[in-house]
Amino acid sequence: MRITMIGSGYVGLVSGACFSDFGHEVVCVDKDEAKIAALTAGRMPIYEPGLDQLVAANVAAGRLTFTTDLAAAVDLADAIFIAVGTPSRRGDGHADLTYVFAAAREIAAALTGPVVVVTKSTVPVGTGDRVEAVLRECQPDVHAAVVSNPEFLREGAAIGDFKRPDRIVIGTDDPFAREVMRAVYRPLFLNESPILFTSRRTSELTKYAANAFLATKITFINEIADLCEAVGADVQDVSRGIGLDNRIGRKFLHAGPGYGGSCFPKDTLALLKTAEDFQSPMHIVEAVVKVNESRKRAMGRKVLRALGANDTGGEGARGKTVALLGLTFKPNTDDMRDAPAIAIATTLADAGVTVRAYDPEGMAAATAMLPGLIATHDAYDAATGADAVVIVTEWDAFRALDFQRLAATMTAPVLVDLRNVYRRQAVEAAGFTYIAVGC
């Protein structure tokens, strides 16, 4: 199959590289000439484990190429994927579909024969209808079947998720499109990956529903963690106790500083706006968004209390120093979008605390977002002169810290573990004051 992937960001690049690894001929298109030049030279615009090797292997095999020439890439394609960004629109939280419709118009201008146009981007219900209208308006005599095929990739594990998916959701009622999409995903048949064919609108909503549900699980266990602290229970044991119930499941039940990243924050907001447009309120999701936003600042106040501050304005922490370990919203990515570390660092800085920080991949993005942040070279450099060390993101590099070495560089041996990476007994045995979440 000949596949054109419009958009060479996170979803487009990972999807394009994986499709080419299946044996398809893939062209990734992007308007950013510098990005295309870098990709052609083997330099990745994002950090994703294994992606650079995957891209290099398929470029060398001649199955994966990069271009800024959309018309040429569309001309010979069997399937054209739209994988452009759909960020939250400024001011109202709606998904910004500017790039989606711009891509649709450019595709329409270049079409010469029957083709399947696939929205891989996360888009609100009804977007496929509007893309189809754009194509028909520009090319009324060309059969262009519009399909919804949402992605379910986790940053840091995207290649594995693409090649061994829990499910593949394809939204179309067009027989021609179904056959093309079956051919596109045929390499996964050997893995017995379930393919769910639905209507286009159902497929579009499935993506938002999935992300909203996972965001709800995270927010639920975080509120349970607060209750555990109040009553003297252990949220980790509670998580195991409920997670062993197959109806609930173990995943996304790890208490922490709240969710962030490129998907959950914008997708929950977009779902709420869709519900509002259709006069079908979603009170649970509304609560999830509100609680998650307040939690990030609450974790900053938790750190201030560990420094001896009061609950009102952080008085007592001014002039002290904190080392933040991990800044990206999760490990194995360089993505800082809506990361809890942003709100935590801002809360600390507002209270007059000096913030030193280290992240294995996120330093460049973090220092651009947080000008007052002091960037360091590793965890021990970050801890130099610190009154507390705070684990914000659970990178593997922070799972086996040398506590004696850490304490030797610190002003006071205090560890605030917002990811519950360590066991209390081990940390306290090393002479540290240990503050965790929900236990």
Q: Which residues are catalytic?
A: 263
Q: Residue 30 half-sphere exposure, CB side, CA atoms within 13 Å?
A: 24
> What dihedral angle (degrees, nearest 10) is formed by the CA atoms of 292, 375, 383, 259?
10
Distances (CA, A) of 326 to 221, 278, 366, 371: 21, 40, 10, 17
Region of residue 284 (phi > 0: left; psi between -120 and 50: alpha; otherwise: beta): alpha
CA nearest neighbour of 176 among 113, 108, 131: 113
Structure-token pair, residue 60: 């060398």
Report d(CA 293, CA 338) in Å as an integer.
10
What would you report as the CA-atom Rg of the chain, rounded to the nearest whole angstrom?
24
DSSP structure class, residue 191:
G
Structure-token pair, residue 173: 């009622």
What are the φ/ψ torsions at residue 307 (nearest 5 degrees)? -85, -5
> What dihedral angle (degrees, nearest 10) is formed by the CA atoms of 367, 306, 409, 327?
-20
